Structure 1
């Protein structure tokens, strides 16, 4: 509450004199308060705009995406203050853990390939692709999303949402990736996945061999052996709203299409110097990582 609100009937000059302040100091404080309110309104409006496309994007990436807004409006606000602003308005995101569907069946007679990427330094697009299957919840069951992600740029180069765990979904995702496989075509490419039936079957390994793509697989079931693919599942679910329950398969497919297009072209990736995956896919050489291990975002609903 301001001094004018405490003493509504008194003249400003008298009140300032009693408290040992000048008129200029009062006006400066009043302007600062008003200016902060305007700043907050601008920022919150832009946060809501970004979250129309990326519903659960975190504070650090929001702060990065809104840098042009800060510059346009001459706003100076650090990440901590920005975090506090979102917390004050209940706009932080909460991670949810729910029952999982099983997507990997490694109990099969097919050959399981060794891990070729354990000590490999990835330095270009189309050097290593990582693949995985994750589930989406439908009102009447599950849909299964197969992803092929470029390990260098983190771009999703192939995907397919399929109603069952048959090999057709992963095959379609791989075929999409291969159809757009043009850059660095004359250099070696490794495809890495878990040891699930879908990736070990003859149809899938045959497709890789047909296009001279080396085959690599996890060896002990540790999720860190396919960490990039696991991380991709989490990003799409927790930041792009794919962890909701969809009314039907069509609604899920439409949401997946939009989420992946937005992710590839708008999302600033912490593992790629905050470039979007599409931008990173045009680069070569080592990209700096902005990602910090064990970073936890306090959450408010």
Structure 2
């Protein structure tokens, strides 16, 4: 039986979106605790750099990253019209049959960068770096529960309070609210003279 081809890189390091639910990027990172290693996955909507899904796990299984994707799908309910691209690295979890099938079910177009090149998933890597610098590296972590609670609080703070230079120094939630508000504002008709 022939193995399906790997997804193309549909992003080509262009981490820009004109609207929410146009491009999501995903990755996971490692966190050391007294109980052993944990893994934290994020799904980020590129438009406003908003974290739309995340999960903490003690193992690097496909289920772990699928849980983060399911949270994003539940929170965002993308249109299912095939216009959303999901970009990740070539990690085995993201190119697995189950993950690929779930993207197809949700009518999300998969995209993966090249192997071993962090620049091909730079925005997700940047969010991982901010997470570690702003939260994880500030103290020692004893338990999974403490990492989960702190991550929950950090994601809420990040989405609603962290000022982002690419967004004009406003938080991701405000950038999205501004986008939707602009859609509701009627365009003035030019006066007939």
Q: Same fold (TM over 0.5)?
A: yes
Q: With structure 1 as the length reference, what TM-score do the two structures score?
A: 0.55
Alpha-carbon spacing, 1:160–1:251, altered in 2? closer, same or farther (3 Å): same
How far, CA to CA, are the matches of 1:172 and 1:183 in structure 2? Answer: 16
**Cα offset for 1:110?**
7.0
Highest CA radius of gyration, 1 or 2? 1
Q: Does 1:116 align with 2:7?
A: no
**Are 2:49 and 1:154 equivalent residues in the alignment?**
yes
Q: How has the CA–CA distance of structure 1 residues 146 and 214 changed in structure 2, closer, same or farther, with 3 Å as cutoff?
A: same
Matches within 5 A, 1:1-301: 111-118=5-12, 121-182=16-77, 186=81, 188-239=83-134, 241-243=135-137, 244-284=139-179
Q: CA deviation at 1:220?
A: 3.9
User: Any idea what SS the aligned residue of 1:149 has?
Assistant: strand
- How far is the alpha carbon of 1:136 from its aligned partner? 1.0
Question: Deviations along 1:194-227, whole A, 9 cap, x unmatched?
Answer: 0111001111111100011000000242111111
Give, in angstroms, the shift of residue 111 of structure 1: 4.2
Question: What is the alpha-carbon distance in structure 1 between the residues aligned to residue 36 and residue 91 of structure 2?
Answer: 21
C-alpha displacement of 1:186:
4.9
Asked if 2 retains the 8 angstrom alpha-carbon contact of 1:110 and 1:201, the reply is: no
Q: Tell me, yes or no, if the aligned pair for 1:125 and 1:184 is still in contact at 8 Å.
A: no
SS at the partner of 1:225?
helix
- Per the alignment, do residues 283 and 204 of structure 1 end up closer, same or farther by CA in structure 2, a change over 3 Å counting? farther
Q: Secondary structure of 1:282's partner?
A: helix
> More strand by proportion, 1 or 2?
2
Structure 2 counterpart of 1:8? none
Return the offset for 1:282.
Answer: 2.8
Q: Which runs of 5+ in 2 are unaligned?
A: 181-193
Report how many residues are paired.
Answer: 176
> What is the TM-score normalised by the length of structure 2?
0.84
Separation (CA, whole Å) in 1 of partners of 2:38 and 2:88: 20
Distance 1:271 1:217 in 2: 23
**Following TM superposition, where does structure 1 have runs of at least 4 consecutive aligned residues deviating by more than 3 angstroms?**
182-187
Partners in 2 of 1:135 and 1:119 — Cα distance? 23
Q: 1:185 to 1:267 in 2, by over 3 A?
A: farther
Distance 1:187 1:284, change over 3 A: farther
Distance 1:111 1:183, change over 3 A: closer
Question: In structure 2, do the counterparts of structure 1 residues 242 and 119 end up closer, same or farther at CA, with 3 Å as the change threshold?
Answer: closer
